[in-house]
Amino acid sequence: MNAATGTTVAAGVPGRLRRLREGLAEAGEDAAWLISKPENRRYLSGFTGSAGLLVISRDAACLVTDFRYVEQAQAEAPEYRVVRHGHPVSEALKPLLEELGIRRLMVEQDHLTVGRFEEFREQLAPVVLEPRAPAADRLRGVKDAAEIALIREAAAIATRALAQVVPAVRPGARERDVALELEFAIRRLGADASAFPAIVASGPRSALPHGAASDRVIRPGEFVTLDFGAACRGYHSDITRTFLTGEPTARQREVYEAVLRAQRAALEAVVPGRTTREVDAVAREALTGAGLGEYFGHGLGHGVGLAVHEFPSLSPSAEEVVLEAGMVVTVEPGAYLPGEGGVRVEDLVVVTETGAEVLTDFPKELTVLA
């Protein structure tokens, strides 16, 4: 992806700040957000460095960082006043809050550690710290066109990488070597990195939903599940395909086709206005009808963007969310039979005005690899 696209992504920052501030209006004039989560810091400012805090009030936007990143922050976050801090960071943060008239500081409760929270509470007094669910997490759920373009590229790279690596998935190969080939292919095709350590799980290990690649040697006649993704300029992709290293038994074909039917039914259900729980239920009911419901123990999917797992979650136990155009989610039902093996088929899709556009365009029919 060229630099122009990166600039386009950063161009969305003013609108993101405006939407975050709409929530601040209810909090009062003396309240501000302290943004510490890296994905939210990048989303709200455009700053890609690894250290920094955002202070966002109704009238001010400040990026507090150390000497390593001052110049970078000024270039990447033009909407922000950059404030250099020493150690401790509170020596710069406290006078800044006093200057801005901030008496209540809302912090991201799922990111700021208890130790850091207590440290700030003591050092920033009399400012009151209020743990809150990160508002930016929800804002990130609906992507703009520039974000979708980067996710689309990450998905295309992962899909091409899979096509290159499929010949290596054969009896006699080690899971770890297949994972390494995926890593090489992703990087050669232009990704910045893998989205996460690749899952390569064969035989009985394919019944492990998150079976990290091991030294196990792939054998004939068994399922092999590959789950991986690419990262492009901070945005991620996620895809899973399950292959078979020999002619399928009747049971193997039954399980695979049941999972694939459930996945296709769920993809059809991904439309604006449906809820995340409703879509999950479509796949869950399909697998239950095939006698496999007890072997599908995780949620149907999750949002993907600056994080591999983000808002919203397609799960019966998570918050029920109405799908909106611009959301990017995975659809990944599975069936995991202990001692036998497992199947998962996963696509990454963007919710459109009329349905779901699949970004991971790789064949899903049962493929036998010899």
CATH of the domain at 26: 3.40.350.10
Of 85, 105, 139, the one marking the end of a domain is 139
CA distance 147 to 303: 13
- In sequence order, what are the residues at sequence separation of 6 or more whose Cβ sits closer than 8 angstroms to the Cβ of residue 359? 151, 152, 155, 156, 237, 328, 347, 348, 349, 350
**Do 175 and 71 fall within a single domain?**
no
The closest alpha carbon to 275, from 322, 318, 310, 339, belongs to 322
Q: Which residue type occupies 70?
A: V
Q: Tell me which residue range forms the domain holding 15.
A: 3-139
Cα 205 to the chain's mean position, in Å?
A: 24
Of 110, 139, 168, the one marking the end of a domain is 139
Q: Is residue 366 part of a domain?
A: no
CATH of the domain at 195: 3.90.230.10
8 Å CB contact between 44 and 19:
no
How many residues in the chain? Answer: 370
The closest alpha carbon to 211, from 170, 179, 182, belongs to 179
**Do 154 and 81 fall within a single domain?**
no
DSSP state of 360: -
Q: Is residue 32 part of a domain?
A: yes
CA distance 293 to 297: 8
Q: Is residue 369 part of a domain?
A: no
Of 117, 139, 161, the one marking the end of a domain is 139
Secondary structure of residue 34 in the 3-state scheme: strand
**Do 86 and 164 fall within a single domain?**
no
Q: What is the pLDDT of residue 227?
A: 98
Q: What is the pLDDT of residue 7?
A: 58
**Do 116 and 161 fall within a single domain?**
no
**Do 53 and 28 fall within a single domain?**
yes
**Do 125 and 201 fall within a single domain?**
no
pLDDT in tens, the chain (370 residues): 344 455 578 889 999 999 999 989 888 889 999 999 999 999 999 999 999 999 999 999 999 999 999 999 999 999 999 999 999 999 999 999 999 999 999 999 999 999 999 999 999 999 999 999 999 999 999 999 999 999 999 999 999 999 999 999 999 999 999 999 999 999 999 999 999 999 999 999 999 999 999 999 999 999 999 999 999 999 999 999 999 999 999 999 999 999 999 999 999 999 999 999 999 999 999 999 999 999 999 999 999 999 999 999 999 999 999 999 999 999 999 999 999 999 999 999 999 999 999 999 999 999 999 7
Phi, psi of 66 (to 5 degrees): -95, 180
Q: What is the pLDDT of residue 316?
A: 96
**Do 104 and 194 fall within a single domain?**
no
Q: What is the pLDDT of residue 56?
A: 98
Q: In the chain, how many domains are there?
A: 2
Q: What is the pLDDT of residue 82?
A: 98
**Do 112 and 165 fall within a single domain?**
no
Query: Residue 315: CA atoms inside 13 Å, Cβ hemisphere, count?
Result: 14
Q: What is the pLDDT of residue 8?
A: 72
Q: Is residue 16 part of a domain?
A: yes
**Do 210 and 264 fall within a single domain?**
yes
The model scores a pTM over 0.85: yes
**E-only strand ranges, the chain:** 31-35, 53-56, 61-65, 81-84, 104-108, 128-132, 193-194, 199-202, 223-228, 230-232, 235-236, 239-244, 301-303, 310-314, 328-331, 334-337, 341-344, 347-351, 356-358
**Do 110 and 221 fall within a single domain?**
no
**Do 153 and 256 fall within a single domain?**
yes
**Do 165 and 117 fall within a single domain?**
no
